[in-house]
Amino acid sequence: MIEKIIYDYLNSLDELPVAVYTEVPETRPSRFYLIERTGEIITDRIQTATIAIKSHGDSLYDAIDLNNKVITAMLDSLITLDSISGVKLNSAYNFTDTTTKTYRYQAVFVVTYY
């Protein structure tokens, strides 16, 4: 499961200052990353997943900073894992929840793996 591979990889990095989750924890921290697979394509047994990573921060600036750190981590070294053959940033944007004033940014990646 690609979410587990990315989850384990990101949580092992010292460069990321906050924890990574696959669902919002019961005791919600103010700063964290959330991974979600939003789509997948399989062609000739090669899988390509669309992965959204939400960066939750104390402020909009904090969310932007966390987002930039996870983008760097994903693009610089996820490709070094044996099961990953490609990583591309599709988009990154403000994803703040205005009703709850929860500051977050979202980065969407296309990850090819086998």
- Domains of the chain with CATH codes: 2-113 (3.30.2000.10)
CB atoms within 10 A of CB 93: 10
How sure is the predictor about 45, in pLDDT bands with cuts at 50, 70 and 90? confident
Model confidence pLDDT, tens digit, residues 63-114: 999 999 999 999 999 999 999 999 999 999 999 998 988 999 999 999 999 8
Distance of CA 46 to the CA centre of its chain: 21
| pTM of structure | 0.93
Distances (CA, A) of 64 to 24, 39, 86, 109: 19, 24, 24, 16
Q: Which helix (H) or strand (E) holds 10?
A: helix 2-11
Q: Rounded mean pLDDT of the chain? A: 95
Task: Summarize the confidence of residues 38-55 as an average pLDDT.
Answer: 95
